[in-house]
Amino acid sequence: MRQTLRRNVTAHGFLLGALLCFALFSWYPMIREIVMSFQRTKRGHTRWVGLDNLDLLTQDPAFWQAWRNTLLFTVLALALGFAVPFVVAIVLNELRHAKGYLRVLVYLPVMMPPVASVLLFKYFYDPGYGLFNNILHTLHLPTSAWLNSSDTAMISVVIAATWMNMGGATLIYLAALQTIPGELYEAAELDGAGLLRRIWHVTIPQTRLILSLLLLLQIVATMQVFVEPYLLTGGNGPQGSTTTVVYLIYQYAFNFNNYGAASALGLVLLLVLAAFSAVYVRLSRNND
């Protein structure tokens, strides 16, 4: 009895530091996030306003545009940021030479401070003296206004974001590929399966769990995009074409000082992402 008590006291002693930090910086803010979504503070006076914050948001055209932009960013970022690392990982896994060098290269941007990569891309994107337009010009291809046009601003942000972030996913896929038993490929080959069929019937099923988990994580991460548009286009971009949901949260909270609306928007984002996760859990359960 006394021993159990002592063990418990010791254990909770070990837990204390982390527990306090979780309480202060995760659990309490989460509760506060929900509470503040239904409150409004004016001149230091806070009162409950029900769903007024949500009303305010939905009447703001920027709200709908931010969602459209964020979804567009997510779709584009996944098309590039999910598929490219997978293909790259498959190719890298087949190479017998220069593997270490290539892995270092692909991971290098991940280690750079985002401000360096983003401002460098901003320099490349410059329609006048930028590198990209000059390359296109040299190849006799049509040049682009990149960040300065509402049509191309978002895709420009996505390209920069993919360059910056694809290393992590590539290395994780690569690690997953290395766990596939070689006998499976041998057996498939004996059965006469060609290269693409081996990828389809061995590689993808064997890495399905990590693929689907990373897909979910990437959706959650890309829907929270902030730094890239903030630095590349100043946040809103031409005609608000790069305003993202998190940037709008930032604006409501720190430019308009409307913490209630900012929290309500955060809660909406949380619910949307939770819905994605729920779909994921449902699908992965059905598959097993």
Partner 1 sequence: MRTLISDTQLNRRRGRIVYRIVLCLVVGGFTLVFLGPLYWLVTGGLKTTQEVIQNPPTLFPHSVHFDTYGEAWSKMRMGRLLFNTLYYAFGALAFQLVFDVAAAYALSKLRPVLGNVILGMMLATLMIPSAVLIVPQYLTVLDLPLLHVNLVNTPWAIWLPTVANAFNIFLLKRFFDSVPDELLAAASVDGAGPLRTLWSIILPMSRPILGVVSIFAVVNVWKDFLWPLLVQTDPKNQTLNIGITSLSTGVPQNVVIAALAIASAPTVVFFLIFQRNIMAGLTAGSIKG
The radius of gyration of the chain from alpha carbons, rounded to an integer in Å, stands at: 24
- For the bound state, the minimum distance from the C-beta of residue 154 to partner 1, rounded and expressed in Å, comes to 18
- For the bound state, the minimum distance from the C-beta of residue 255 to partner 1, rounded and expressed in Å, comes to 12
- For the bound state, the minimum distance from the C-beta of residue 88 to partner 1, rounded and expressed in Å, comes to 9
Residue of 171, 201, 215, 238 that binds partner 1 (CB under 8 A): 171
Residue of 98, 141, 209, 283 that binds partner 1 (CB under 8 A): 98
Strand partners, 46: 41
Residue of 72, 114, 152, 280 that binds partner 1 (CB under 8 A): 114
Pick the stretch among 12-20, 52-60, 74-82, 145-153 that binds partner 1 (CB under 8 A).
12-20
Strand partners, 47: 40
Residues with Cβ within 8 Å of residue 25, at least 6 apart in sequence: none
Please identify, using beta-carbon distances, which residue of 158 and 177 lies nearer to partner 1: 177
Residue of 52, 72, 103, 149 that binds partner 1 (CB under 8 A): 103
Please identify, using beta-carbon distances, which residue of 65 and 203 lies nearer to partner 1: 203
What are phi and psi for residue 254, nearest 5 degrees?
-105, -15
Structure tokens at 98: 């220069």
| Residue 177 binds partner 1 (CB under 8 A) | yes
| Residue 71 binds partner 1 (CB under 8 A) | no
- Other CB atoms within a 10 A radius of the CB of residue 150 amount to 15
Round to whole Å and give the CA distance between 285 and 271.
Answer: 21
Residue 240 DSSP symbol: G
Short-list 155, 169, 157, CA closest to 81: 169
- Contact positions with partner 1 (CB under 8 A) in 30-59: 30, 32-33, 36
Short-list 161, 168, 198, CA closest to 183: 198
Round to whole Å and give the CA distance between 73 and 237.
Answer: 13
Pick the stretch among 49-57, 58-66, 169-177, 235-243 that binds partner 1 (CB under 8 A).
169-177
Round to whole Å and give the CA distance between 129 and 32.
Answer: 48
Structure tokens at 61: 């055209």
Short-list 279, 276, 160, CA closest to 223: 276
Round to whole Å and give the CA distance between 105 and 98.
Answer: 11
- Contact positions with partner 1 (CB under 8 A) in 209-268: 210, 220, 223-224, 226-227, 230-231, 246, 249-250, 253-254, 259, 262-263, 266-267
| Residue 187 binds partner 1 (CB under 8 A) | no
Please identify, using beta-carbon distances, which residue of 143 and 239 lies nearer to partner 1: 143
- For the bound state, the minimum distance from the C-beta of residue 84 to partner 1, rounded and expressed in Å, comes to 11
Residue of 79, 104, 279, 283 that binds partner 1 (CB under 8 A): 104
- For the bound state, the minimum distance from the C-beta of residue 37 to partner 1, rounded and expressed in Å, comes to 10
